[in-house]
Amino acid sequence: MRSITGKAMRRIATAGVASGVLAAGALALGGAASASTAGAAHGHTTYRFSKLDNAHDVTFNQLLGINDHGKIVGYFGSGAAGHPNKGYQLLPPYTQQNYLNENFPGSVQTQVTGLNNHGVTVGFWSSMNNANMVNDNHGFVDVHGHFRTADFPTGSPASPPVDQLLGVNDNGIAVGFYTDGAGTNHGYRYNIGTGRFRPIVDPNAPAASLTAAAINDIGGVAGFYTNPATGNTDGFLKQHGQFIDLAAPGASSTMALGVNNFDEVVGVYTPSSNSQALDGFTWTPQRGFTTVNDPHGIGTTTVNGVNDRGQLVGFYVDRAGHTDGFLASPQH
């Protein structure tokens, strides 16, 4: 599959399933867990980092969401031909026995991208695993084992179609995006109970390409869009009637990928000084941006999810070239 848009995240899979941040990628598993302690964030908070890889494929794992009970969702497999994305849930205490497969019935590839505290997960699936990693993507909802496809009813889809659900809150509202035939992303809300869709746009530029990546219980939506003033990819938080642009200082690109009920936003940015680097971040209205990188990430960390306990999940590329999932727990 592919990821969303941005080289560090791979939630889509080029038209198929991706991982991480809506880039163009595939899925991956992790291997055995390991831990280390790293740098200051949140002012005086440090994080304890644990590598979490599914043993089915220790070369490629992406962790994409975490709820308040510590349950994590993600996938393994790069999405290359013969290495399809395969979704899973991971339960505490994060042993290999607690990786639970979760794949859309009949799919070739699946990425599980978001979950809430009531047993609902969302993601996207593909019927393809092409060598060029250009595959169809379809959003899905899984309510206690009952799956259904949830694609925005557009009259102008991309070919093959790209539609992904990326986050869901405790009120049963999911968010995601679809890509139209011109290659523009359109964010939307999806009410799981009623089956109704509602667009999410930048009020100052309704036609701008926009991806909705996460939603909290207050209805705040985080994601990224094309800033019409600069042409750059910026993150955003849309809440309480405000559309807040999030551009990390000195970054050429910023993507917001997760948000909790305390308006803590997480994501990834690319420093303008190094177009190959990827730095994870947290952002709050009080503290602004703080860089958060896994110590084993060699400048390739993406933070993809955050819960109300301040725990972070995401992924990085290590020195061996493997994509590893991580959990970062705050140490106060």
Q: Which tens digits make up the pLDDT trace of 22-38?
A: 433 332 223 333 444 44
143 beta partners: 120, 146
Beta-bridge partner residues of 305: 313
Tokens encoding 38: 């790293």
pLDDT at residue number 9: 36
User: What's the rounded Cα separation, in Å, for the pair 315 and 306?
Assistant: 13
What are the tens digits of pLDDT across the range 198-245? 999 999 999 999 999 999 999 999 999 999 999 999 999 999 889 999
Q: Are 215 and 120 in contact (CB under 8 A)?
A: no
Which domains occur in the chain, in start order? 34-331 (2.120.10.30)
pLDDT beyond 60 at 323: yes
Tracing tokens 């505490």 back to the chain, one arrives at 92
At 170-193, the pLDDT tens digits run 999 999 999 999 999 999 999 999
| Strand pairing class (146-149; 138-143) | antiparallel
User: How much is the mean pLDDT over the chain?
Assistant: 89
The per-residue pLDDT for 45 is 78
In this prediction, residues 284-312 reach a mean pLDDT of 96
Q: Is the pLDDT of residue 330 over 80?
A: yes
Q: What is the pLDDT of residue 247?
A: 98
- pLDDT of 129 > 70? The answer is yes
The residue to which tokens 């849309």 are assigned: 238
CA-to-CA separations, 285 to 32, 220, 305, 331, in angstroms, rounded = 36, 13, 18, 21
Per-residue pLDDT averaged across 310-323, rounded? 97
pLDDT at 1: 61
